[in-house]
Amino acid sequence: MSIKLHWSLIGFVLFSLGLKAQDRVFPYSFANLYGLVSDKNEVVLKEKYQSIQLNKRQWDNNKFVVFSQLFKNGNTSQEKYGILDNTGKEIIPAKLSQIYYDFYGRFFYVLPAPDSMEIWHIAKKKCVLRTKFASFEYDGGLFVVKDKKGNSTILLDNGKHKLISKNVDIVNDMYKFYYSYYDEGIKKYQYITDKGKPAPIEDPLGYDDFPMVQMQHSDLQSLISEKNGQLNALKSKLGTQNVKPFYSRVGDFPLVAAYTDPATKFLKLYDLTGEILLDKEGITQMESFKKGSEKFEYIKYKIGNYWGLTDFNGKQILSPEYSSIEISEEEDYYFFVRHKSGYSGYCYQGQTPYLPKESGCTDLK
């Protein structure tokens, strides 16, 4: 199945007001079709769609989700996308070829033609801009659309927009977002407030100019040296050929290690000081999750035909009763888990997965 939605851009989630925690819904699947389950593990929508995708950045107040259906035309089929609310009602039928969202889920936009754009302000539930465009970009609190003449339209949080007759670029500096432009050959920087007022700022420091960053570089080298020393000591104790280290995603230093017992061929998880973190009889495989931009967090392990999940401190997240546990390709906030019953659902940040009661999954820890 081909998904044309960016994970950071999925989920039509802000059309309704004030959801309570029990109103949250999550996709689940059975027999290759998707439905919705509540955070009480009650089925809200019986499985019927080709896919249902959740916007990970709106996990705690998801009010709308994206679904898709396949439409056949002779020997070919095409996937179209629509919007469901948290009761399973179709708000937008499956008729869109693509659905996009800005990074923070404030704007929904579609491209009716290669050079045309419609932008909807999600909280206000209305289209705020229809325009021809040459390019567009979004980051942090800014969404900028550029036309072929170099003019830029900046979308504001309050649903209004401001036209600037200068070529604008978004700047991301130490997680502060603003835009830059040239005025008579001089580069200037400005914020645009949510009321549409400009707020000039000084030329920002570069990333490596910050003393904090320089200090972090030095501390990182010390940490790498320390961890490698601990790993070498562990290998000397347990045997180099029996130890497989798992590395941090950021910094490239070892955090924990899998030890294979030469007699049984079963695995245990150790920290680098030699303390056993995970020791369950019959573990035959261990894999670390190293996708996305976040730090290393989890290890999945296999006993028999099923997988369990632990963090690098040895804390049990999921018991070994899942035929598959897959992490998001772009972020490691959440997992898509398939239970041995055949049902599948989502597990957010290593918490209890959302599966229908029909899965029979009752004791997860």
Adjacency order of strands within the sheet including 142-146 = 135-139, 142-146, 152-155, 161-164
Give pLDDT, residue 303: 98
Amino acid letter, 257:
A
Segment 274-296 shows an average pLDDT of 81
CA–CA dist 354, 336 (Å, integer): 10
Q: Is 184 exposed, middle or buried, given 0-12, 13-18 or 19+ CB atoms closer than 10 A?
A: exposed
DSSP of 197-261: -EEEEPPPPPGGGSHHHHHHHHHHHHHHHHHHHHHHHHHHHH-GGGEEEEE-TTT--EEEEEEE-
Give pLDDT, residue 341: 94
- Structure-token pair, residue 232: 């070498």
Amino acid letter, 143:
F
Q: Which residues pair with 265 in a beta bridge?
A: none
Coil vs helix vs strand at 84? strand
Output the 3-class SS for 161-173: EEEECCCCEEEEE
Q: How many CB atoms lie within 10 A of CB 12?
A: 25
Segment 243-263 shows an average pLDDT of 87
Q: Which residues are within 8 A (CB) of 70 and not within 5 positions of it... i.e. 6 or more apart? A: 50, 77, 78, 79
The pLDDT tens digits of the residues spanning 8-47 come to 333 333 333 333 444 678 889 999 899 999 888 899 999 9
pTM above 0.85, yes or no: no
Give pLDDT, residue 9: 34
Q: Which residues are within 8 A (CB) of 239 and not within 5 positions of it... i.e. 6 or more apart? A: 262
Rounded mean pLDDT of the chain?
74
- pLDDT-based confidence at 236, cuts 50/70/90? very high
The pLDDT tens digits of the residues spanning 48-90 come to 999 887 765 555 555 557 777 777 667 778 888 877 777 888 8
Q: Which residues are within 8 A (CB) of 333 and not within 5 positions of it... i.e. 6 or more apart? A: 56, 59, 294, 348, 349
Segment 240-262 shows an average pLDDT of 88
DSSP one-letter code for 336: E
Nearest to 283 by CA among 254, 299, 303: 303
